[in-house]
Amino acid sequence: MRAAWYEKQGPASEVLQLGNLPTPEPEQGEVRVKLSFSGVNPSDTKRRLGFGGQKMAYPAIVPHSDGSGVIDQVGTGVPKNRIGERVWIYCGQWERAHGTAADYISIRENHAIHLPDNIELMSGACLGIPAVTAHRALFSDGPIKGLTVLVTGGAGAVGNYAIQLAKWGGAERVITTCSSPEKENQAKAAGADLVINYKEEDVSAKIMDATDGQGVDRIVEVAFGVNLPSTVALLKDNGIISAYASDIEPTPILPFYPMMQKNCMLRWVFMYKIPEDDFANACNDLNNWLKKSSTHHMVSKIFPLEEIAEAHKFLESGEATGNVIVSIDGEN
C-alpha cells in the first residue's frame, strides 16, 4: 500500500517520506479500513517534531490519528456485517506505529466509529481528536443547559466544534474569541452568540458587559497559560475551566487564591487518555448530534498524500482556519 512515514524526528520536509509498505491484515478484534481521508492535528506535528521531549516510539511512524473510510476486512471476533461500513477513526496512531496517512489501517473495532449516512467521508476525517476533545471539555462535568460558555479560539478545529456542541447541549449563550474577520465569520456560522476579536477588542470588558457583570459558567480553553489571568477573572463562582492546550505559555503559574476563592474546577483534557466508557459515550453523543443537527465541518485546505509535508507545514504555520485534510484516494 501507499503510505507516508518518518524514521526520525524533525522538520516535515526533511523527515516525511512517501512509498510503499506492507498492507496490514486485521488481527483479532480489529477492522481494516480502506482510507479516503486523513486528518492532520497539532498532536501529529508535535510528535513528529519531538515536542516536549517526545521520543520516537517506533522505528518508523505512519502519522495521523484521525481519518475516514470504508471497512473492507474484519478480524476474528468482529461481525462480518461491518464490512462495507463507512467509519470515522479515532486514535489511529496513538501507541501504535501506523496511523491514517496510508491507503489502509487496521485498528481496534471500537476506534472505527460508524459514520452516519448524511455525513460525507471528508467531514468524517475532521471529527476524531477535535470533536471528542470538544465534547470532553463541555460535558465531563455535567449538563450545560442554561449555562453561559466561553470558547477561546472559536475558529480552530476544537473551538468550532465546541461552539456547535455547546448550542446542541442547550447552553443559553456561547461566547467565543477570534483574531480576524474571516475567523469571526466561521465562529458565527457555528452558532456563537457573541464573537469577540481579541486583537481589536477588550475581551474581558466585552464579556462582563454582555453578561451583566456575572461572567461565564464554563470555559473551553485553547491557550490556558497566556489567558489564565483573564479567564479566572471572567469565571463565575463554582465555574469550570477545561483546558486542552497551552502552547504559548506551557508552564504557567497558577493563581492559587483567586482560583480557590472562586471554588472553581480546572479540568485537563487529554483526549488520548479519556476512559473507554467516557469515549464510548462521547462517540454516541457525537453521532446523535451528526444525525439530528445541521453540522458544520471546517476544512481549511486539502492536500494529496504526495504533499503531506506541505500539509504539516501549513498546519504549523498558524494560517489554517479549521481542519487540515490529506486526501488518500485523490478525492476532494
The CATH superfamily of 2-127+297-327 is Medium-chain alcohol dehydrogenases, catalytic domain (3.90.180.10)
d(CA 238, CA 83): 48
Which pLDDT score, from 0 to 100, does residue 331 have? 72
d(CA 301, CA 309): 13
Q: Where are the alpha helices (DSSP H) in 246-307?
A: 256-261, 276-292
Which pLDDT score, from 0 to 100, does residue 321 have? 87
- At 230-241, the pLDDT tens digits run 999 999 999 999
Contact 275, 2 (CB under 8 A): no
Mean of pLDDT values over 2-18? 98
- At 305-322, the pLDDT tens digits run 999 999 999 999 988 888
Pick left, alpha or beta for residue 269 (phi over 0 → left; psi -120 to 50 → alpha; otherwise beta).
beta
- At 273-296, the pLDDT tens digits run 999 999 999 999 999 999 988 999
Mean of pLDDT values over 111-123? 97
pLDDT for 26 beyond 70: yes
Q: Which of 152, 144, 151 is nearest to 170 (CA)?
A: 144
Cα dihedral 282, 284, 285, 290 sign: positive
Which pLDDT score, from 0 to 100, does residue 319 have? 86
- At 208-222, the pLDDT tens digits run 999 999 999 999 999
Only one residue has cell 464554563, namely 218
The helix (H) or strand (E) run that includes residue 177 is: strand 173-178
Contact 245, 224 (CB under 8 A): yes
Identify which has the larger pLDDT, 320 or 127: 127
Mean of pLDDT values over 179-204? 95
- Residue spans of the domains in the chain: they are 2-127+297-327, 130-272
Only one residue has cell 476563592, namely 261
Q: What percent of the chain has pLDDT over 70?
A: 100
- At 31-55, the pLDDT tens digits run 999 999 999 999 999 999 999 899 9
pLDDT grade for 119, boundaries at 50, 70 and 90: very high
What's the full length of the chain, in residues?
332
pTM of the model: 0.94
Q: What is the largest CA-CA distance in the chain?
A: 61
The helix (H) or strand (E) run that includes residue 186 is: helix 181-190
Which pLDDT score, from 0 to 100, does residue 332 have? 67
Fold of the 130-272 domain: Rossmann fold (3.40.50)
Q: Which of 73, 70, 74, 72 is nearest to 86 (CA)?
A: 70
